[in-house]
Amino acid sequence: MQIQPFHLAIPVQDLEKCRIFYRDTLNCEEGRSTEQWVDFNFFGHQLVIHQKEGYIPTESVTNPVDGHDVPVPHFGVVLTWEDWHSLADRLKAANTKFEIAPCIRFKGKVGEQATMFFKDPENNALEFKAFQDMNQLFAK
C-alpha cells in the first residue's frame, strides 16, 4: 500500500506567530492561505493552522514512556535518520525549548528510535522521530 499524506487542521490564537514558527523554524513550505488559515507542507503532509478568535491554548497532559513524561496529545512525523539529526541540530542551534530533548528511546529494544518533543507557540506538542531500521516502526 502506498502511503498517502495525512491532513491535520489545528486551531491557533496567533496566526502570524504560528506561521513564522512552522515556516521559519520547521522550514515547512507555505501553501494556500487566507487571513484566517494557512496551509503548510508538513514534511509531505498537509497541516493547516486556523486562527480561532478566543481560542485558549491548553496545557497537555503527560504519559510515562521509557522514563520520560510524554506530552499528549501530540503529532509529528517519522523522518529519515539523517533528516532527524539535521532537524535536531537546527533546533538546538535555534535554542528550542524541548519538552524531551533529542534522545534515543527504547535503546537496544524492539522499536528503538530517535525522538524529540517540543511545542509550537500555541502549546501544541510535536514529536519527531526516526528509526535506523524502519522495520522497527510497527514491530511488536
**Tens digits of per-residue pLDDT, 26-80?**
999 999 999 999 999 999 999 999 999 888 887 779 999 988 999 999 999 999 9
Number of domains in the chain: 2
Q: Same domain for 91 and 124? A: yes
Query: Is 97 contained in some domain?
Result: yes
For the entire predicted model, the pTM comes to 0.91
Q: Which domain holds residue 127?
A: 62-136
Residue with more model confidence, 78 or 2: 78
In order, the DSSP letters of 47-71 are EEEEE-TT----PPEEEEETTEEEE
Domain assignment of residue 56, yes or no: no
Q: Are residues 33 and 67 in the same domain?
A: no
CA–CA separation, 3 and 109 (whole Å): 26
Please state, in angstroms and as integers, the Cα–Cα distance from residue 28 to each residue in 21, 24, 61, 77, 134, following that order: 9, 7, 27, 12, 23
Q: Are residues 66 and 131 in the same domain?
A: yes
- What is the C-alpha R_g of the chain? 15
Q: Do residues 126 and 84 both lie within one domain? A: yes
Asked if the structure places residue 109 within a domain, the reply is: yes
Strand ordering across the sheet containing 37-42: 7-12, 45-51, 37-42, 29-33
| Grid cell digits, residue 80 | 529519515
Instruction: Confirm whether 42 is domain-assigned.
Output: yes
Q: Is 140 helix (H, G, I), strand (E, B) or coil?
A: coil
User: Are 130 and 66 in a shared domain?
Assistant: yes
